[in-house]
Structure 1
Amino acid sequence: MVSNLLQPTYALPLTAGLAVLLLGHLSTRGSPPQLIPSPLKTVLPSLTDSDKAGLPYPPDALPGARDVTSPYGTFRCYEWGSTNGRFVLLVHGISTPSLALYPLAQRLVNEHGCRVLLIDLWGRGYSDAPGDLPYDARLYTSQILLALTSSPVSWTGAGGPADGFDIMGYSLGGGIASNFAANFPHMIRSVTLLTPAGLIRPERRGWAMRLMYSSPFFPEALLKWFVKRSLGGGKATTGTNYQAQNSKSGISFNILNAPSEELPKENAPDEGPLIETYPHVSVAGAVNWQLMTHPGFISSFISSIRHAPNIAQQEMWRHIPTAGQKPKVLILAGETDPIILADDLREDAIAVLGEENVRFEVLSCGHELPVTCSEQASAIIGQFWSLEL
């Protein structure tokens, strides 16, 4: 089963193979590749249409697909919906491609008349992976701007939404979206953050994570081997109430849990097939396929942990306008989320933005909130929008 392929495995035996890998790292010098191509270039050209339809992440699974060529490589966008409604940009998490945000995006189109734009972030899905750049706010911001300017309709200028567009970010995408809104507030109408990174407390990183992602002494080749192995074995979690068992901050966590926590759990609400036209498609299957077939995924995952706006972003969040100005902020947290603790997030967001300037809601789900709670999330978002002055 695909769902059994994504839970981290923590044992790290120093086998003869590992010793060879370590010696190879110590003896090899060279620059990283400038560009790591995505499955769009390495897999699809050799497949028939039937083969493509059977993939865990078919290239036409989401409507309005386009591939954008840029100096950083080629990346995939999806854009659909009415041009007469709100324009909404959605940014996905650290391991899931745009597929994970499809249930919510489709509800925004059907229930609120929106036009939506989704992006496969660098190194995920059908987007290339820059191999010689840090995956920081600058890289992700430039990708968003490239996506906006590649649209067949205007998102920021004449003919576009007069009040700006709404930006939504999930997990890692929450850190990216809040950073973008702080830098370009004149473009943004509102901000919705779904179990967002950005305000994760530094002390919650365990010593092993600090060693692997911060220490210059941990060999890069060994780290990539360990991360891929950890993401590729074990059994899916069942979504126990982590908050009830670990309600206080300061609990360390392992970021290698993030991919499995972005997947629906065995006891999660059933919203039916992810995509009606492709009933075999699942977020778990897409993530596992990406892990196995995208040669730049592991590098993008590691670099995003190191450089993306995930931790202690209070100063940047203070630049998000609130209190009657645009944008306004809505935060949705998961009650059983072990990655982004709802209590910590509420406390830290209110401390930065002010209690009167942010609406905070806790939903009965985990970190996979956009997949399993899209109906409830869409309703709350609609109510939030209706309160605009």
Structure 2
Amino acid sequence: MSAFSDAIASRLFQSPSRLTFCLFLGAASLGTFTVLKSLKSTFQTENALVIPSPRETLLPHLSREEQDDLPYPPNALPGARDVDSPYGTFRVYEWGPEDGPRVLMIHGISTPCVALGPLAHELVKKGCRVMLFDLFGRGYSSTPSPSHHTHSTTLFTTQILLTLASSPFPWPHFTLIGYSLGGALAAAFTSYFPHLLSSLFLLAPGGLIRASHISLKTRLLYAKHGLPGWLAEWVVARRLWTPEEKSGKGEEEMIASMEPEGDGEKSGLVESVTGKEKEEKIGGLRSRAVYASASHVLLPDNPNSTISNIVNWQIAHHKGFVASFISSIRYAPIHGSHARWMLVGDYLAKRKQEARRETDLSRAGTGAGLRKVHLVLGEIDPIIIADETAQDVREVLGEEFVEVHVMKGAGHEVAIERAVEIAELVGQELGM
């Protein structure tokens, strides 16, 4: 064997060209092996049917004290449970009087359900039984791989039904509250199951955002057949990430990436967040796409629980978050959902006609059941423009079936910072 090796080496060194070729071939083979090994690992992650949440990948490695210090600790809200499903496990919270009016809440696109925690606590104070859950790909919910499951109305409607089925108590009729993307999902769910609802509250909802507000940059970034998956995730993660030095100054980049950006074609007088001055801004309200609640603490005993910190935490520790975010932008009912909303309006009109024909009004369900939609908007919301949204919702649902509430001085964070006022509206609707 030694003689054979010596003979081969002798021939190689006698022919420099052969030696160069062999060295090149060896280096190429090693490089190819390294790349393929890396790609194999990537493909295994992308092609996994379910991407686990931090509940499985992070929490087992932390002490109880370290878990409590997380921006979104696992005990953030009462009544936590993890529900198993064909799409992976997802986090649900349920608490409040067992015999209280049922209220189900759906959060927005970038923050898990802890963002609606203040509103949930206010409703429990009024005697409601509340239930919240982390949408797939957020918080402590797993991510059905976007390469196998589009994060669309179908997926999230299924999750809502799974959430209801997971309760140890019956939920025959309930109030549905949806915020931002959650508002779009709530309207879509209602179009399929209106008979399950007693009332519907849409807080700064997506679904009917006008196409004129979608910038070319947004179209290119979230195009279904645009950037390669890994590159799109890298770009979106960078845009969603809030540097520590900017975490208290608003989240302009976050909003720019999660919703259509200002068209920059017309200017308008825009009242400042403080309400004390007015400024001339190109693009009107949409040019001021800033979350005033970026540094807003969601959990009183946890100074780390700001919106910007929670989003950063998801980017760093939830392997499916960014992919789910992108898939939600592409496939969830954020824009162009007029047809489904019109079905809700048709249901309300039909129900009103049936009530008129009934001599016994109680049989028509006038004392219970969905009769109108409450639309809660922020006066200076740069994402869901109050005047536009109110007009469009009235057109698709019917003006008589919509009650509009505009919160003075509130922006897109209306559901977070106006929890007490919104709870009052819900309480009035429920006769509490």
Question: What is the TM-score with the length of structure 1 in the denominator?
Answer: 0.81
Give the 3-state SS of the residue equivalent to 2:83 in structure 1. Answer: strand
Tell me the CA shift for residue 336 of structure 1.
1.5
Deviations 1:223-251 (A, max 9, x none): 11100111114533399747977999998
CA distance in structure 2 between the aligned counterparts of 1:109 and 1:306, rounded to whole angstroms: 35
Q: Secondary structure at the match of 1:70?
A: coil
- Alpha-carbon distance in 2 for matches of 1:291, 1:153: 35
Of the three residues 34, 47, 61, the one matched with 2:62 is 47
Q: In structure 2, do the counterparts of structure 1 residues 366 and 250 end up closer, same or farther at CA, with 3 Å as the change threshold? A: closer
Q: 1:334 aligns to what?
A: 378
Match of residue 135 from structure 2: 121
Q: Evaluate the alpha carbon distance shift between residue 193 and residue 293 of structure 1 in structure 2; reply closer, same or farther with a 3 A threshold.
A: same
Does residue 179 of structure 1 match 2:224? Answer: no
Q: Is residue 316 of structure 1 aligned with residue 340 of structure 2?
A: yes
**Percent same amino acid among aligned pairs?**
43
Q: Which moved more, 1:273-282 or 1:79-88?
A: 273-282
Partner of 1:160: none
- Report the alpha carbon displacement of residue 85 of structure 1 after superposing the two structures with TM: 1.7
Q: How much has 1:145 moved relative to structure 2?
A: 0.8
Where does residue 376 of structure 1 map in the other structure? Answer: 421
Q: Structure 1 residues 169, 74: CA separation in 2 closer, same or farther (over 3 Å shift)?
A: same
User: Structure 2 residue aligned with 1:224, among 230, 233, 240?
Assistant: 233
Supply the distance in 1 between the matched residues of 2:401 and 2:180 (Cα, whole angstroms): 21
CA distance in structure 1 between the partners assigned to 2:43 and 2:74 by the alignment: 36
Counterpart in 1 of 2:250?
Answer: 237
Match of 1:207 among 203, 212, 216: 216
**CA positional deviation for 1:280:** 4.3
Does the CA contact (< 8 Å) of 2:241 and 2:311 recur in 1? no
Q: Deviations over 1:186-214 (max 9, x none)?
A: 11111100000011112211011111212
| Alpha-carbon distance in 2 for matches of 1:242, 1:134 | 38
**Match for residue 152 of structure 1?**
168
Q: Is the 8 A contact 2:294 2:308 kept in 1?
A: no
Residue ranges of structure 1 left out of the alignment (5+ in a row): 1-20, 157-163
CA distance in 2, matches of 1:247, 1:155: 47
Corresponding residue for 1:189?
198
Cα deviation code 1:294-331 (max 9, x no counterpart): 11000010000000011111110112132547322101
Moved over 4 A (4+): 28-31, 242-254
Matched, 1:35 2:42: no
Shift of 1:29: 7.5
Instruction: Give 1:347's match in structure 2, choosing from 387, 391, 399.
Output: 391
Deviation larger for 29-38 or 313-322 = 29-38
Aligned length: 345
Higher helix share: 2
Q: 1:137 to 1:247 in 2, by over 3 A?
A: farther
Amino acid at match of 2:406: V
1:88–1:165 CA contact under 8 A, matched in 2: yes
**Aligned partner letter, 2:312:** N
Give the residue type in structure 2 aligned to 1:152: P
Tell me which amino acid in the other structure corresponds to 2:185. I
Structure 1: distance between partners of 2:401 and 2:280 = 28
Match of 2:362 in 1: none
Alpha-carbon distance change, 361 to 248 in structure 1, aligned in 2, over 3 angstroms: farther
Distance in 1 between residues matched to 2:240 and 2:117, nearest whole Å? 23
Deviation at 1:55, TM superposition (A): 1.1
Question: Is the alpha carbon distance of 1:135 and 1:347 closer, same or farther for their aligned partners in structure 2, counting shifts above 3 Å?
Answer: same
In the alignment, is the contact (CA less than 8 A) between 2:103 and 2:131 conserved in 1?
Answer: yes
Report if aligned partners of 1:205, 1:253 keep a CA contact under 8 Å in 2. no
Q: Answer yes or no: is the 8 Å Cα contact 1:35–1:130 preserved in 2.
A: yes
Correspondence 1:292 to 2:322: no
Higher relative contact order (CA closer than 8 Å, sequence separation 6+): 1
Q: Report what 1:305 is aligned to.
A: 329
The answer on whether the counterparts of 2:109 and 2:325 sit within 8 Å (CA) in structure 1 is yes
What is the RMSD computed on CA atoms of the aligned residues?
2.9
Q: Which amino acid aligns with 1:125?
A: G
Paired residues of 2:240 and 2:311 also in contact (CA < 8 A): no
Highest Rg: 1 or 2? 2
Equivalence for 1:69? 84
TM-superposed CA distance for 1:182, in Å, is: 1.0
Looking at structure 1, the residues matched to 142 and 326 of structure 2 have their Cα atoms a distance apart, in angstroms, of 15
8 Å Cα contact 2:286-2:383 kept in structure 1: no
1:366 aligns with 2:381: no
Q: State the match for 2:113 in structure 1.
A: 98
Does residue 1:264 correspond to 2:326, yes or no?
Answer: no
With over 3 angstroms needed to count, the CA separation of the structure-2 counterparts of 1:250 and 1:241, relative to structure 1, is closer
Residue 383 of structure 1 and its aligned partner are, at CA, apart by 2.5
Structure 2: state its 5+ residue gaps.
Answer: 1-34, 253-269, 353-365
Q: What is the match of residue 10 of structure 1?
A: none
Offset, 1:378? 1.3
What is the SS of the residue equivalent to 2:376?
Answer: strand
On the 8 A contact 1:203/1:252 being kept in 2, the answer is no
Shift of 1:370: 1.6
Return the letter of the residue paired with 2:84.
T
